[in-house]
């Protein structure tokens, strides 16, 4: 029953930026695999989110970027190429985007009163907060950060670092990224769940076709 809305939001993102579109699908893919394993099931219980809510948090976390002006969206990864004023403008957009995502999703909550949207909004709003309290936009710390966002933080970092981005055509190797992430347990990442998510990511298969996965995944949202 949420299929149409989720598809519409992601289509909007695909229209402005295919890299962020596939980044969102890839993040959703890993979350959908995580909730199949025992650690993932435990995680859902402790985070008080359903399977579909958690996958939707992954799919929609960067949806606030649809509001970015094209030049910021397409240049934001090469800030050194911009002039001073445009660097400041770009930073504003970067810092604001989790709240932008929250706002877009809360529109659906306001319209329907359905807590499905509210729980997704809570997760996306905090997806750049760091466990030690030096993330953005609110500098939340430790358990102040909703657990769904603390979990997403690891998947988002992993997908971002291992895929092709505008500033780097050469994605980093998954094992190297995971090793680096291990050093961020307790600072960037939730130490308890971080360890479990890193272990999961060490063994999980990457997607064969994100488009095919997405088509199938959308069927879950017909009945949620
Ligand atoms: Fe983000
Ligand atoms: Fe992201």
* Secondary structure (H, E, C), the chain: CCHHHHHHHHHHHHHHCHHHHHHHHHHHHHHHHHCCCHHHHHHHHHHCCCHHHHHHHHHHCCHHHHHCCHHHHHHCCCHHHCCHHHHHHHHHHHHHHHHHHHHHHHHHHHHHCCHHHHHHHHHHHCCCCCCCCCCCCCCCCHHHCCHHHHHHHHHHHHHHHHCCECCECCCCCHHHHHHHHHHCECCCECHHHHHHHHHHHHHCCCCCCHHHHHHHHHHHHHHC
* pLDDT band with cut points at 50, 70 and 90 for residue 76: low
| CA 72 to ligand 2 center in whole angstroms | 16
| CA 60 to ligand 1 center in whole angstroms | 10
Q: What would the mean pLDDT of 177-206 be, rounded to a whole number?
A: 97
Domain count, the chain: 1
* pLDDT band with cut points at 50, 70 and 90 for residue 123: very high
| CA 160 to ligand 2 center in whole angstroms | 7
| CA 188 to ligand 1 center in whole angstroms | 14
- Give per-residue pLDDT as tens, 135-172: 999 999 999 999 999 999 999 999 999 987 776 667 88
| CATH for 11 | 1.10.3210.10
The Cα 10–Cα 217 span in angstroms is: 13
- Give per-residue pLDDT as tens, 210-219: 999 999 999 9
pLDDT, residue 169, reads 64
pTM: 0.95
Q: What is the mean pLDDT of the chain?
A: 93
Q: What would the mean pLDDT of 83-104 be, rounded to a whole number?
A: 91
pLDDT, residue 83, reads 80
* Nearest ligand, CA 160: 2
* Nearest ligand, CA 28: 2
Better-scored residue on pLDDT, 46 or 81: 46
User: The domain containing residue 158 runs over which residues?
Assistant: 3-223
């Amino acid at each position: 029953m949420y299929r149409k809305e989720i598809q519409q939001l992601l289509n909007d993102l695909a229209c402005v930026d295919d890299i962020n579109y596939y980044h969102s699908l890839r993040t959703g893919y890993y979350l959908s695999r995580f909730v199949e394993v025992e650690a993932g099931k435990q995680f859902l219980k402790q985070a008080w989110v359903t399977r579909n809510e958690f996958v939707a948090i992954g799919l929609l976390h960067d949806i606030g970027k649809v509001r970015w002006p094209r030049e910021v969206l397409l240049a934001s990864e090469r800030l050194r190429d911009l002039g001073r004023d445009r660097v400041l403008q770009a930073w504003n957009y970067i810092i604001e985007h989790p709240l932008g995502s929250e706002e877009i999703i809360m529109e659906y909550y306001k319209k329907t009163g359905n807590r499905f949207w509210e729980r997704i909004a809570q997760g996306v709003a905090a997806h750049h907060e760091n466990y030690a309290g030096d993330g953005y936009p609110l500098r939340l710390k430790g358990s102040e950060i909703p657990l769904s966002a603390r979990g997403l933080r690891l998947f988002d970092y992993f997908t971002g670092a291992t895929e092709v981005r505008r500033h780097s055509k050469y994605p980093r190797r998954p094992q190297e990224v995971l090793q680096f992430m291990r050093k961020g347990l307790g600072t960037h990442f939730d130490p308890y769940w971080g360890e479990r998510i890193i272990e999961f990511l060490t063994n999980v298969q990457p997607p064969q076709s994100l488009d095919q996965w997405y088509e199938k995944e959308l069927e879950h949202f017909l009945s949620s």
